[in-house]
Amino acid sequence: MAGITYEDFLDTSYEPADSELVCTFSVDPAADMDMAAAASRVASESSNGTWAELQVDGEITDLSATAFEIDGRRVQVAYPDSLFEAGNMAQILSCIAGNIMGMKAVDRIRLLDCEWPEALTASFPGPRFGSAVRESIFGAGDRPITATVPKPKVGLSTDQHVQVGYEAWTGGIDLLKDDENLTDQPFNPFRDRLIESFGARDRAEAETGEKKSYLINVTADTNTMLERVDMVAEEGGEYVMVDVITCGWAAVQTVRDQCEKHDLAIHAHRAMHAAFDRVPNHGVSMRVLAQVARLCGVDQLHTGTADLGKLENEDSRGINDWLASDLHGLRDVLPVASGGLHPGLVPELVDRLGTNICIQAGGGIHGHPDGTHAGAKALRQAVDATVAGVDLDEYAAEHPELETAIGKWGTETPR
């Protein structure tokens, strides 16, 4: 490294090797810095450089990254394979989305996209099931699967929560889901909720003849999560739910290993993703967070509602397409559209995102004027009509629950 300066990390004639991880950034240099200097500092600080010219005795492995493309504010950097510890997502992110995010050489920097090389990809398990859950668990054929999260998101007692789940299941919903901030609070303890919900699930299955399942939120410190994963398996579940951003990717990787032992699928809620991806031109894009989630092995991931719901989202369609695309043989991930959805939005949602999705509604079911059971029926009716290619108003004329939902919310996008 002796005598190496920032400029040595910039080479616009460089062609990345297939084995390298290529990252695309948006870079706004600091006011007193030109783009070439900022780009070389990005490559330097995220691989083996620092602010000073280093004096190192003897030979060391050259793990320098190379900024090889600058196009406007778009900068591409190639990282040598040997910079990374195989299968260690925390270490990878500490390189490509680490110190550079706060470096004074840039005003703003956003990691937009990654091209994952084969060997690094193969060091991760990827999803155990992916979108195959739609068919293998629910036999859903061409239709999106549906989920609901009881509201209010916290405060319902176990009995109340379970009753809401039962009414939703028997109304036609496939999946009951915990909300992101419901785990094991005294008003609704995890173990009681798990056992009583599975009892209600069994009754709902017997009553409807349909498969029903439950996304119970195991999010906690990692050891506790592993105990909860074991508990879900022992009691006969198919899934666990994890708040993947707040608990961190290392924990997700550990949960993924435990789920492999029990044949459980992972539903990934993305609460706090917007802290990374909402500010323009800074942070880590949802596209990259989704890539990381797929590598770490979640089966279902919240990726937004294609601008139809209550939450801001980045390019749901593009992210979903990436989750379905080939990634050196890794399984795909089922996208979950959630946040402010209701029956009237279903046709447009399916038009924008297709049917290989999970449609989830909380308020759009439990806010139905006739209650949860009617709300669940209305959502399922909207899905069935959409998949059959029948106009929603026409279908509603024969289905009073849907008619009431459309009468209340129409096709409006909530805030």
Catalytic amino acids? 151, 269
Regarding 126 and contact with ligand 3PG (CB under 6 A), the answer is: no
Regarding 178 and contact with Mg ion (CB under 5 A), the answer is: no
The entry of ligand 3PG, Mg ion, none that residue 403 binds, CB within 5 to 8 Å by partner kind: none
The entry of ligand 3PG, Mg ion, none that residue 64 binds, CB within 5 to 8 Å by partner kind: none
Residues 356-375, one symbol each (x = binds ligand 3PG by CB under 6 A, - = not), give ----xxxxx-----------
The entry of Mg ion, ligand 3PG, none that residue 364 binds, CB within 5 to 8 Å by partner kind: ligand 3PG
**For residues 352 and 316, is the Cβ–Cβ distance under 8 A?**
yes
Report DSSP state, residue 9: G
Q: How many angstroms separate the Cα of 326 from the Cα of each of 76, 114, 121, 299, 411?
A: 22, 14, 12, 15, 35
**Residue of minimal Cβ distance to Mg ion:** 179
Residue partners of 276: CB distance under 8 A and separation at least 6: 245, 283, 284, 285, 286, 289
The least CB distance from residue 311 to Mg ion, in Å, is 10
Residue 22's H or E segment, with its range, is: strand 21-29
Annotated ligand binding at 340? The verdict is: yes
Residue 268's H or E segment, with its range, is: strand 265-269
Annotated ligand binding at 153? The verdict is: yes
The least CB distance from residue 176 to Mg ion, in Å, is 13
Residue partners of 268: CB distance under 8 A and separation at least 6: 241, 242, 244, 252, 293, 298, 299, 300, 301, 302
Rg, Å, the chain Cα set: 23
Torsion-angle region of 165 (φ positive above 0: left; ψ -120 to 50: alpha; else: beta): alpha
Report DSSP state, residue 10: B
Regarding 179 and contact with Mg ion (CB under 5 A), the answer is: yes
The least CB distance from residue 180 to Mg ion, in Å, is 5
Residues comprising the binding site?
153, 177, 179-180, 270, 302, 338-340, 360-363
Residues that bind ligand 3PG (CB under 6 A): 149, 151, 153, 179-180, 310, 338-341, 360-364
Residues comprising the binding site for substrate?
153, 270, 302, 338-340, 360-363
Residues comprising the binding site for Mg(2+)?
177, 179-180
